[in-house]
Structure 1
Amino acid sequence: MAKLTTIGIDLAKNTFALYGLGPKGQCGWKRKVRRKQLLEQLVRLEPCKVALEACGSSHYWARQIQALGHQVELLPPQHVKGYLRGQKNDYNDAQAIAEASEHGRIRPVPLKGAEQ
């Protein structure tokens, strides 16, 4: 497996889609994992940037992923939509999140602490 620089995660109720980008922006891998398996999957990877769309549960997941040593970025959903290609599905959403994060021109949403 090639070294991953950015992982986009599309959060859902039961299964999450993960899309990893390599150093040149190419697809490193894509996975679909259950809610319980997400942190197990990410702990095996070298620290990299993990991008999520900002929503109610994304702040919780961002804190958990950050504790594993990854750099977490929450992106506003309205800005990610412009990077979506093809039909809307979990993998395409995760790819759009990863590419929006790689582009670097979107201002991330500040991460909220547990008490907020």
Structure 2
Amino acid sequence: MQIRSVGIDLGKTTFHLVALGASGKVLVKKKFSQKQLLAFTANMQTSLIGLEACRSTPSRSSVASARP
């Protein structure tokens, strides 16, 4: 399973992630808590990640940007 790009919808308490392969096929589609999302993405290979958030969740993106 070669993940090429990931989309994450940032919510207040839950995060929805969709990972796509090179052909655009959905490889992973899951709902995570913050802790689960950080653990999942920490063990992922390097890929393009896009984040979507509404105005009420600006602090959530700082968690993702703090990761090395």
TM-score category, normalised to shorter length: 0.7 to 0.9
Unmatched tracts of structure 2, length 5 or more: none
Paired letter, 2:30: R
Distance (Å, rounded) in 2 between the aligned partners of 1:13 and 1:60: 13
CA offsets 1:22-67 (integer angstroms, 9 cap, x no match): 00111011111101221101011111111102652354033134x1
Write out the 4+ residue segments of structure 1 that deviate beyond 4 Å after TM superposition: none
| Larger RCO of the pair (alpha carbons < 8 Å, separation 6+) | 2
TM-score scaled by structure 1? 0.50
Count of aligned pairs between the two proteins: 65
Structure with the higher helix share, 1 or 2 = 1
Larger radius of gyration: 1
TM-score by length of 2: 0.81
Task: Measure, in 2, the Cα distance between the counterparts of 1:4 and 1:16.
Answer: 18
What are structure 1's unaligned runs of at least 5 residues? 68-116
